[in-house]
Amino acid sequence: MNGSAEYSLGGSRIDPQEQTIWDVASAPFFGLKQRADGTTKSCTARSMAFRKELWERVGGFPETSLMGEDTMFDLQARKLVTPAYAEHAQALYRPRHTLKSALRMMARYGVADGVLGTRRERLARNLLRCLAEVVAVVLVPRTVIPLACVLLLEIYFAFRLDWKTFRQRATLPQMGARLLYSLLVPWVAAWNQAVGEFTKKNQPNRQNA
């Protein structure tokens, strides 16, 4: 980068000094990395920069949405300019998640995606995962092969985004938490995104109340 970019993106990573087991489990599903050298091209508002002129052309962040406003800004900005990626720019994030709060956040993003009509390919993928799990369980009395295949696929989904860095420091409890969270994600995300798609009822931003 030479300072001429109108729009640039960095990334976010969880603070290694203040993290819970569920921060580690949910990190890649929210675009968060666990190490300073973890590369990312996240559009999170925690790590983006833009010129005032671009902000005005896009119209800023939609103030009616509680979640996903940075995604909507990013989609509109990309129609006007190509983002530059700041190689080492990362914001530290301290969510302090429990399992309940991590799932709640996933649910909120799902509703926002449904209302805004974004990430529909993810909705289709999550619905297929849910369907595959149901079919595999139904077929257990006849054969366990489909269930074994689904479990292998779910293990892949759980660790595919950061396995190279995750395996170097992860404990067995952290691996178990990651797998459990990954198994729950398609159900939580798909249900809430479908609710958002059908109701188009946005989550209010209380700051604007």
Choose between 87 and 205: higher pLDDT. Answer: 87
The number of folded domains in the chain is: 1
DSSP E strands, the chain:
7-14, 32-33, 48-50, 84-93
pLDDT in tens, 127-162: 999 999 999 999 999 999 999 999 999 999 999 988
Q: pTM here?
A: 0.81
In a domain, 1, yes or no: no
In a domain, 124, yes or no: yes
pLDDT computed for residue 182 by the predictor: 96
| pLDDT of res. 33 | 64
Within 10 A of 31 (CB to CB), how many other CB atoms are there?
18
Separation between Cα atoms, residue 76 and residue 71, nearest integer Å: 9
Q: Which domain holds residue 57?
A: 7-208
SS3 content of the chain, % helix, strand, coil (to 5): 55, 10, 30
In a domain, 168, yes or no: yes
Does 13 fall in a domain?
yes
In a domain, 121, yes or no: yes
* Short-list 150, 165, 177, CA closest to 26: 177
Residue 2 lies inside a defined structural domain of this protein: no
Domain contains 20: yes
pLDDT recorded at residue 204? 60
